[in-house]
């Protein structure tokens, strides 16, 4: 009898300790959320942006999905610190919410990827994790809160895509057709086209932008590493130039903030184009009367590094590829995709591919860790290189190691080999590897085939013609 009383007493003490801890934790959560919400006092409290932010603050999303959030009082306790540090590392690998908070605070459009990620976890009820809710009782998302967040997501998309030629309901979805027309100066773009194909931007007049990003081969060179000056081979795969205007940042590691900044990099890379400086390039271009006349027309004769890169960027803004079969499907033609292609689209969404590959370009918005569900680099036979460090090389933040810009999936059937290191030789291999390393599933051959069939419907048109790899370019790639 005494043992039973002791046991009941211990259980009672345990319950009391648990409930007391929950009370203290939730009180601290409310205080931290209130301080975070106060930073958004300039927003209309009736707006969906404010309401969405308040829900995320109340639920403590920032604890695990930011690197600089104010943390609860117990975060420095020995055991709690280790657990929370591990949770933060996992959280940041899956979704860094900092940019979303900045967007809301600055009243800017929220990332397509952020909206897709939040929508997914709302539908599958995977966030906040149940173990987190066991201590943070207020963290669970109510039906009304879910409704508010979904309404915010849909209206955010509809506002962003108000000019899209799709139905009102389609404008609220994660995947959109290419429809944006970018403002371009025709004279500068024409000059940029000439410069893009001009080998005089390289030190020995052998390499142009088009050497690695040919418009006849999907905007790439179909090589693992591009061949530069003196036959040197670079350490990273060339991304496509088509639809690069949609990228939030340029290069795999995002070191260039726009197309113009990107255009100024390769000419002075000793492996790629190997010029010494702009003076060397300008001296050669100045001997060409036609080029001089084009600069006179476009830039009042000003030939500088700034005008050269600006012209190339203007040209690259024209390299969008609309009117793919998938675009036609999104715009209402349900016959544009056959049965297996539609099944591939369903699998694409089932495996959450659209939570990285969202928007018009279906990529280019965020940087993601290569190997979230399995260690890609441990399985790869090649040793780790400086290029493999990805976004870390730019930010120096440990959480950015092995993070790379999510590539556009537009015209993806033409841009093999795949990934930053070019290690996936075929589209089938790329799909299989994405399943294993990013989703955590081993796709069947039939699933890979279906997704590949869908991805091939993303090939669009340039100048009114469907993109393809020209036969002579295929032979050149095979000969290298």
Residue with tokens 């609220």: 172
Mark residue 155 as left, alpha or beta (left: phi above 0; alpha: psi -120 to 50; beta: remaining): alpha
Assess whether 70 carries a catalytic annotation.
no
Catalytic member of 112, 119, 190, 272: 272
Angle at 154 between CA 150 and CA 160, to 5 degrees: 145
200 Cβ contact list (under 8 Å, min separation 6): 281, 284, 285
Chain center to CA of 116: 12
Chain center to CA of 239: 13
Residue with tokens 């509809």: 158
Tell me how far apart the terminal alpha carbons of the chain are, to the nearest angstrom.
86
**The token pair that represents 248 in the structure block:** 């939030």
Is the four-CA dihedral 456, 437, 402, 115 of positive or negative sign? Answer: positive
What is the distance between the alpha carbons of residues 441 and 38, in angstroms, rounded to a whole number?
Answer: 42
**The token pair that represents 85 in the structure block:** 């540090």
Q: Cβ–Cβ contacts within 10 Å for residue 44, how many? A: 10
8 Cβ contact list (under 8 Å, min separation 6): none
Contact in structure between 393 and 304 (CB atoms under 8 Å): no
Peptide bond preceding 197: is omega within 30 degrees of 0, i.e. cis? no
The string of DSSP codes covering 336-378 is SS-HHHHHHHHHHHHTTGGGTS-BTTTS-S-EEES-SSS-HHH
What amino acid positions are annotated as catalytic residues?
Answer: 272
């Amino acid at each position: 009898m005494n043992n039973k009383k002791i046991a009941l007493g211990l259980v009672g003490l345990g319950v009391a300790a648990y409930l007391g801890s929950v009370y203290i934790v939730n009180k601290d959560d409310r205080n931290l959320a209130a301080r975070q919400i106060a930073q958004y006092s300039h927003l209309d409290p009736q707006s969906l942006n404010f309401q969405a932010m308040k829900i995320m603050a109340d639920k403590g999303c920032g604890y695990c999905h930011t690197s600089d959030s104010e943390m609860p009082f117990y975060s420095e306790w020995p055991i709690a610190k280790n657990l929370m540090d591990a949770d933060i590392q996992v959280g940041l690998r899956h979704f860094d919410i900092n940019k979303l908070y900045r967007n809301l605070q600055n009243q800017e459009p929220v990332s397509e990827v952020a909206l897709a990620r939040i929508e997914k976890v709302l539908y599958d009820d995977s966030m906040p994790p149940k173990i987190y809710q066991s201590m943070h009782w207020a963290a669970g998302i109510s039906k009304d809160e879910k409704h508010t967040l979904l309404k915010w997501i849909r209206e955010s998309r509809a506002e962003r895509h108000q000019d899209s030629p799709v139905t009102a309901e389609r404008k609220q979805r994660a995947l959109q057709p290419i429809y944006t027309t970018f403002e371009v100066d025709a004279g500068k773009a024409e000059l940029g086209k000439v410069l893009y194909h001009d080998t005089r931007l390289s030190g020995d007049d052998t390499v142009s932008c088009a050497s690695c990003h040919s418009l006849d081969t999907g905007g790439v060179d179909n090589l693992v590493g591009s061949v530069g000056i003196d036959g040197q081979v670079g350490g990273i795969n060339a991304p496509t130039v088509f639809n690069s205007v949609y990228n939030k940042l340029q290069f795999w590691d995002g070191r260039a903030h726009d197309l113009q900044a990107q255009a100024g990099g390769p000419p002075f890379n000793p492996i790629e184009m190997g010029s010494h400086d702009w003076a060397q390039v300008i001296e050669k271009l100045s001997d060409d009367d036609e080029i001089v006349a084009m600069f006179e027309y476009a830039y009042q004769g000003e030939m500088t590094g700034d005008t050269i890169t600006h012209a190339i960027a203007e040209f690259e803004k024209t390299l969008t590829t609309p009117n793919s079969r998938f675009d036609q499907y999104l715009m209402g033609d349900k016959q544009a995709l056959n049965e297996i292609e539609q099944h591939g689209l369903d699998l694409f969404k089932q495996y959450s591919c659209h939570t990285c590959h969202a928007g018009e370009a279906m990529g280019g918005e965020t940087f993601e860790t290569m190997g979230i569900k399995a260690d890609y680099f441990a399985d790869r036979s090649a040793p780790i290189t400086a290029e493999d460090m990805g976004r870390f090389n730019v930010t120096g933040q440990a959480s950015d190691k092995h993070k790379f810009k999510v590539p556009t999936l537009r015209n993806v059937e033409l841009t093999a080999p795949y990934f930053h290191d070019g290690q996936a030789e075929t589209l089938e291999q790329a799909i299989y590897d994405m399943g294993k390393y990013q989703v955590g599933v081993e796709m069947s051959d039939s699933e890979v085939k279906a997704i590949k069939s869908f991805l091939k419907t993303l090939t669009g048109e340039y100048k009114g013609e469907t993109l393809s790899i020209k036969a002579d370019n295929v032979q050149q790639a095979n000969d290298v």
